Amino acid sequence: MRYCKKCIMPDTKPDLTFDEEGICNACRSSERKYAQHKDPIDWNARKKEFEALIKKFKNDDPLTYDCIIPVSGGKDSMFLVYALKEVYKMRPLCVLFEPTLPTKTGRKNIDVMNRMGVDLIHFKRNPLVYDYMVKEGLRRVGDNDWPNHIGIFTVPIHFAVKFNVPLVIWGECPQTEYGGYTKEARSAHVLDQRWLYDYGGLIGNRPEDMVCEDLNITLSDLKPYIYPSKEDLERVGVTSVWYGYYFPWNVPEQLRIVKERGWVSRIDRVEVTYEDYENIDCYSMTIHDYLKFVKYGFGRATDDLVRDIRNGIIDREEAVRLADRYEGKYPLEAARRFCRRFGYTREEFDEICDSFTNRVLFETEKDGTFKRDIDGSLILKKKYVEMRRDPTKSTKRK
Ligand SMILES: [Zn+2]
């Protein structure tokens, strides 16, 4: 394992690479955002590009929407509603694919967003099919939110096709914020089926693989999770873009804007990290973040910390302290709620998580089981904790 010298991301993160200075490609990518790079992003040109796009898709027909915004109730979707409706005077149709285990705060925020004056479709999916995929996603690939990654991307596109609204606008651009500084990433601002299959976190499973004869789940039950056909997409001219490709994604600024409009964060921090505003609409996401930690040795706290480092909000030293304090905590509340909802005992749940836990990274007992602190948390081996503190240690060759 090796950690980036600028942020604290380890190279166990899939597709993370380091340059000769020991800085990761995601940090380099975000330097382009802030003009600290020899080839910075020309935000003025991108803004013009966005305005041309808006002009192209805005229409005068009172019965037609100008664009679709996929929403969850989180800060990102609320911010997009603000940007498109209030700033760009668009008439968006919001499409909600509900989270796996919605929180009260998330539900409240959806109402707040709705009351900003937008039409909203709440897609109440078939829970028999969805729950099966949650459990299979957990069992097969250690990802309890597997069907959510798909549904949030496919369902809004189905509505784009059905309602004949070609422009679909998503939030944070993963390639700009986290992606590599590669030729492909430089032009990757459009989200299509290939993007979903390559970057959408399907981990080799396809929706078609979830047919289950015993439970009578057929291919037609899975249609919402299968991308519309190429013919349909071309007929409507579906154009999916990231707002974060055209404008620098500025979290503190977004928080200020959405809170002024009634959006609320949590009373306490999310249990696996230090902040109270990201992914607060779903308990299941917390489990997903925990599973990432057991597989790769970094989880939600690191994700939050590297974002704050790259955006100049904290320095590396502070990030190390916060990672020591919050990273890898066992998500007790989320686990209890998840087990209750999906019918697992804590032992069964832990056993599944442990089966995906990386033996190289965590302390084990003599009998091969994982060591745990009294709060249920796994113990990241000391050498990795030290490498996180001092990344030069990880580059030493014996
Ligand atoms: Zn980095």
Q: Report the separation in Å between the CA atom of 345 and the middle of ligand 1, taken as the mean of its atom positions.
A: 38
Four-CA torsion 181, 182, 183, 187, nearest 10 degrees: -60
Rounded to the nearest whole angstrom, what is the distance from the C-alpha of residue 45 to the centroid of ligand 1?
27
Query: What is the crossing angle of helices 346-355 and 284-296, to 10°?
Result: 40
Centroid of ligand 1 to alpha carbon of 299 (angstroms): 15
pLDDT tens string 172-200: 887 777 664 344 444 445 566 776 776 66
- Are 221 and 285 members of one domain? no
- Among residues 294, 300, 307, the alpha carbon closest in space to that of 323 is found at 300
Domain end (from 200, 227, 246): 246
Tell me the average pLDDT of the chain: 90
Residue 170 in contact with residue 191, Cβ under 8 Å?
yes
User: If you measure from the C-alpha of residue 318 to the centroid of ligand 1, how many angstroms do you get, rounded to a whole number?
Assistant: 15
Residue 159 placed within a domain: yes
- The predicted structure's pLDDT at residue 62: 79
Cα separation, 170 vs 241, in Å, equals 6
Residue type, 27: C
Task: Tell me: do 77 and 210 sit in the same domain.
Answer: yes
Among 203, 228, 246, the domain-final residue is 246
On whether residue 347 sits in a domain, the answer given is: yes
Give me 371's structure tokens. Answer: 């060591």
| Domain range for 319 | 281-395
Residue 373, in any domain of the structure: yes
Q: Check whether residue 125 and residue 232 sit in a common domain.
A: yes
**What is the CA(25)–ligand 1 centre distance, in A?**
7
Inside any domain, residue 378: yes
Whether 37 shows a pLDDT value over 80: the answer reads no
193 within a domain of the structure (yes/no)? yes
- Count how many domains the chain has: 2
Ligand 1 geometric centre to CA of 10 (Å): 8
Q: What is the pLDDT of residues 208-233, one digit of tens each?
A: 899 999 999 999 999 999 989 989 99
Residue 151 and residue 232 in one domain: yes
The CATH number of whichever domain residue 166 belongs to comes to 3.40.50
Residue 26 lies inside a defined structural domain of this protein: no
Find out whether 125 and 272 touch, Cβ atoms under 8 Å: no
pLDDT bin (cut points 50, 70, 90) of residue 383 is very high
Residues 6+ apart with CB under 8 A from 99: 72, 73, 106, 148, 281, 282, 284, 285
- State the distance from the centre of ligand 1 to the C-alpha of 320, rounded, in angstroms: 13
Buried/exposed code over 324-361 (b: 16+ C-beta within 10 A; e: otherwise): eebbbbbbeebbebbbeebebeeeebbebbeeebeeeb
Report the separation in Å between the CA atom of 167 and the middle of ligand 1, taken as the mean of its atom positions. Answer: 33
Would you say 145 and 153 are in contact if contact means Cβ atoms under 8 Å apart? no
Q: Per residue in 45-71, pLDDT tens?
A: 999 999 999 999 998 887 889 999 999
Give 8 Cα–ligand 1 centroid separation in angstroms. Answer: 6
Same domain? For 108 and 213 the reply is yes
Say whether both 198 and 50 belong to one domain.
Answer: yes
Is the model more confident about 223 or about 30?
223
Domain-embedded: residue 58:
yes
Cβ atoms of residues 290 and 331 within 8 Å: yes
Considering the domain architecture, whether residues 225 and 309 belong to the same structural domain is answered as no
**275 CA → ligand 1 middle, Å:** 20
| C-alpha of residue 172 to centroid of ligand 1, in Å | 18
Closest CA to 115 of 94, 139, 145, 140: 94
Task: Report yes or no on 182 lying in a domain.
Answer: yes
Residues 285 and 373 occupy one common structural domain: yes
User: In a 3-state reduction of DSSP, which class is residue 100?
Assistant: coil
297 and 193, same domain (yes or no): no
Work out whether strand 167-170 and strand 119-123 pair parallel, antiparallel, or are unpaired.
unpaired
Ligand 1 centroid to Cα of residue 19, in Å, is 10
How far does the centroid of ligand 1 lie from the alpha carbon of residue 36, in Å? Answer: 14
Residues 234 and 287 in one domain: no
Distance from the alpha carbon of residue 109 to the mean position of ligand 1, in angstroms = 32
Show which of 221, 246, 271 is a domain's final residue: 246
Burial class (CB in 10 A: 0-12, 13-18, 19+), 7: buried
